Structure 1
Amino acid sequence: MTKFESSVKQIPHSQQSVYNTLSDMSNVQRLKDRLPDGDTGNADMDKVKDKLKNLTFDQDSLSISVEPVGQISMRIIERDEPKTIKFESENSPLSFNFWIQILPVSDNSSKMKLTIDADIPFFAKGMVSKPLQEGIEKIADALAMIPFE
């Protein structure tokens, strides 16, 4: 297994608020609803918008089409309120575990880090390591943008 970690993201909301939002995957709709329509002029934001068009989810799972890997699906397998949400891949080309760690900073702020532990065949490590590291960082950025309440 190969581990990939995002940088720590500061979030101006309480640990409990962040946990409540991220522990229910149907809240991902908030992120999709916040994206502007049309061409934003920001290449990175437009790429995120294109990716989210292929995103499906319910309370406990989400699925997204990622180039060049294909369809990736994961399901929540453990919730440790208010600090950790753990996922496991299902029906995906790569076997992996994914977790979100949320730590309090103050009553009104917290920090978050994402980790992927993937079972990558040796011959594919060179091809997928950089995209996975970049991907986990972009996912962390996107999750930090959600309007937590």
Structure 2
Amino acid sequence: MSLHKYVSDVKIIDQNEQVVFNYLSNFENLAAYLNSGLIEKITKQVPQVKITDFQSDRDSCKFKITGMGVAEIKIVNRDPFKTIKVESSGSLPLSFTFWIQLLPDDAFKTKMRLTLHAEMSMMIKMMAGNKLEEGINQLADTLSKLPYK
């Protein structure tokens, strides 16, 4: 197993960093969005990945990925209005830590970047490495377009 790092492009969100932080640091907000059609969209784009049994609370979410096992993601650190650190657990063949980094751009805009550290075997890296590079940018793009309130 070795550690691999993936960094998203910087995205601009049309909200201040406090609003963005408060929304993203509560997985219950993301659950409503995921259950409103995003899971089906992911399955259509990547038919090999079927996500089922999604559950969440403020600090964690848990779901099954067909053929891979149960994934559990937990927020392990919140640095108010700057960083949210998330770690995985469960029975997936890789483990990861990722950070959502926020930086004010002006009073009503926030810069966001995601950094993913994935611990995986060379075989998994060969199969999923390019997908993770694409995926981190797609996730950043999706998070930048959420209905922040």
TM-score range (shorter-chain normalised) is 0.7 to 0.9
TM-score, normalised relative to structure 2:
0.81
Q: Distance in 2 between matches of 1:20 and 1:101?
A: 13
Is the contact made by 1:8 and 1:112 (CA closer than 8 Å) also made in structure 2? yes
Aligned twin of 1:15: 17
Is the contact made by 1:30 and 1:147 (CA closer than 8 Å) also made in structure 2? no
- Map of 1:65-104 to 2, 5 A cutoff? 65-66=64-65, 69-93=68-92, 94-104=94-104
Q: Distance in 2 between matches of 1:68 and 1:131?
A: 17
Q: Report the Cα offset of residue 116 of structure 1.
A: 1.0
Tell me the secondary structure at the aligned position of residue 133 of structure 1.
helix
Q: Report the Cα offset of residue 132 of structure 1.
A: 1.3
Gaps of 5+ in 2: none
Aligned twin of 1:129: 129
Check 1:95–1:35 CA distance in 2 against 1; reply closer, same or farther (3 A cut): closer
- Map of 1:131-146 to 2, 5 A cutoff? 131-146=131-146
Q: Which amino acid aligns with 2:55?
A: T
Gaps of 5+ in 1: none
Tell me the secondary structure at the aligned position of residue 126 of structure 1.
helix
TM-score, normalised relative to structure 1:
0.81
Q: Which amino acid aligns with 1:134?
A: E
Check 1:117–1:67 CA distance in 2 against 1; reply closer, same or farther (3 A cut): farther
Tell me the secondary structure at the aligned position of residue 55 of structure 1.
strand
Structure 2 counterpart of 1:4, from 3, 6, 17:
6
Give the total of aligned pairs: 143
Aligned twin of 2:55: 56
